[in-house]
Amino acid sequence: MSDLPGVVVTGVSGRMGRMLVQEIAASDKLRLAGAIERAGHDWVGRDLGLAMGGAETGVIVSDDADEAFAGAAVVIDFTAPEATIAFGALAAARGLVHVIGTTGFTDDQIAALEAASEGAVQIRAGNMSLGVNLLTVLTRKVAEALDADFDIEIVEAHHNRKVDAPSGTALMLGEAAAVGRGVALGDVSDRGRDGITGARTRGDIGFSAIRGGDIVGEHDVIFAGPGERVVLRHVASDRALFARGALKAAAWGLERPAGFYDMLDVLGLN
Ligand SMILES: NC(=O)C1=CN([C@@H]2O[C@H](COP(=O)(O)OP(=O)(O)OC[C@H]3O[C@@H](n4cnc5c(N)ncnc54)[C@H](OP(=O)(O)O)[C@@H]3O)[C@@H](O)[C@H]2O)C=CC1
Ligand SMILES: O=C(O)C1=N[C@H](C(=O)O)C[C@H](O)C1
């Protein structure tokens, strides 16, 4: 076994879980130390490589996160909010690096994660790609430069299996726009119009979500003003992008003290 820092991948059979396994196998900085699925999943107890339809890896898929975390330095977690809260507490108890890609948290769940970040190096972002994180910086700057004569609308598109809306990325972009405007997103957010909605409220930040097919992830930030429009766009065409970002965050986190970080910290964009 190599002496590289060990990573546990949670939700390993998921779209991102599988991507992460492939990217870790190709990494010269990290090694796969464990793979977690929920109790009752038919991969539990099987060799991960064989379960994925490839060669044996020697890593057996487990439903015991605490036991798997005992042999690791890093947890990479793209699962679901309730699962991530539970993994966050376990990661904090063991002082691990917890890279969180999961989206769709409530405010209370975010508060629980923030509490857990006192014991872990917690790196959380609704999008792990360089391009989207750069887009948040550009969005903040454009929102700073344009006044409320420019209506801000965020339009996102994802595959038909996605369960949360607006996407974590859309919320990151909305937050960046609100910071640029000097307002609280919660005060100006307009999520979901239907029926006789009345005219748009000046200063609102609107969100729209498209779900269809196998769209990996697309985000537009539209600044619609009198006689002109500025559109900032990011298109992800390969999920491996997010997995590579998560591995970068993991390696970066190994050198940091416990606390909360985001991808702007990892990428040096803060
Ligand atoms: N930050 C980023 O860059 C990105 C974030 N994401 C986010 O990552 C999350 C996962 O996305 P995706 O991979 O497409 O989703 P999937 O549904 O394909 O995968 C989620 C996996 O987590 C598993 N899981 C859920 N609950 C538990 C649990 N309690 N214990 C163990 N495993 C569990 C699921 O198992 P089961 O099927 O049995 O429920 C499934 O295998 C979403 O929130 C998505 O928005 C996605 C891409 C990029
Ligand atoms: O669920 C997805 O697929 C994605 N989720 C993230 C989000 O909610 O923004 C990131 C990416 O867009 C893909």
Cβ of 41 less than 6 Å from ligand 1: yes
pLDDT tens by residue, 214-269: 999 999 999 999 999 999 999 999 999 999 999 999 999 999 999 999 999 999 99
Atom of ligand 1 nearest to the CA of 12: 41
User: CA torsion 194→197→200→206, rounded to 10°?
Assistant: -30
Q: What is the pLDDT of residue 1?
A: 63
Each residue of 136-175: pLDDT tens digit? 999 999 999 999 999 999 999 999 999 999 999 999 999 9
Helices and strands (H, E) in the chain, number of each type: 10, 12
Range of the domain at 168: 130-236
**Do 226 and 256 belong to one domain?**
no
Angle of the 240-253 helix axis to the 15-25 helix axis, nearest 10: 60
Q: Which of 162, 164, 218, 233 to mutate to test the pocket of ligand 2 (most atoms within 8 A of CB)?
A: 162
Residue nearest to atom 23 of ligand 1 (CA): 11
- Phi–psi pair at 260, nearest 5 degrees: -95, 135
Determine if residue 67 is labeled as part of a ligand binding site: no
Residue 146 has, within 13 A of its CA and on its CB side, a CA count of 23
Tell me the average pLDDT of the chain. Answer: 97
At 136 the pLDDT is 98
Residue 12, annotated ligand binder? yes
DSSP-derived 3-state class of residue 96: coil
Quick check: 12 and 261 in contact, CB under 8 A?
no
Tell me: do 250 and 199 sit in the same domain.
no
**Is 183 contained in some domain?**
yes
CA distance 169 to 138: 14
Same-domain check for residues 92 and 219: no
As a whole number, mean pLDDT of residues 178-199 equals: 97
Beta strands in the chain (DSSP E): 6-10, 31-36, 61-62, 74-77, 97-100, 121-124, 151-158, 189-191, 205-211, 217-225, 228-236, 259-261
Q: Domain for residue 107, yes or no?
A: yes
Which pLDDT belongs to residue 192?
83
CATH number of the CATH domain containing 23: 3.40.50.720
pTM comes to 0.98
| CATH number assigned to the domain comprising residue 145 | 3.30.360.10
Region 201-214 average pLDDT: 98
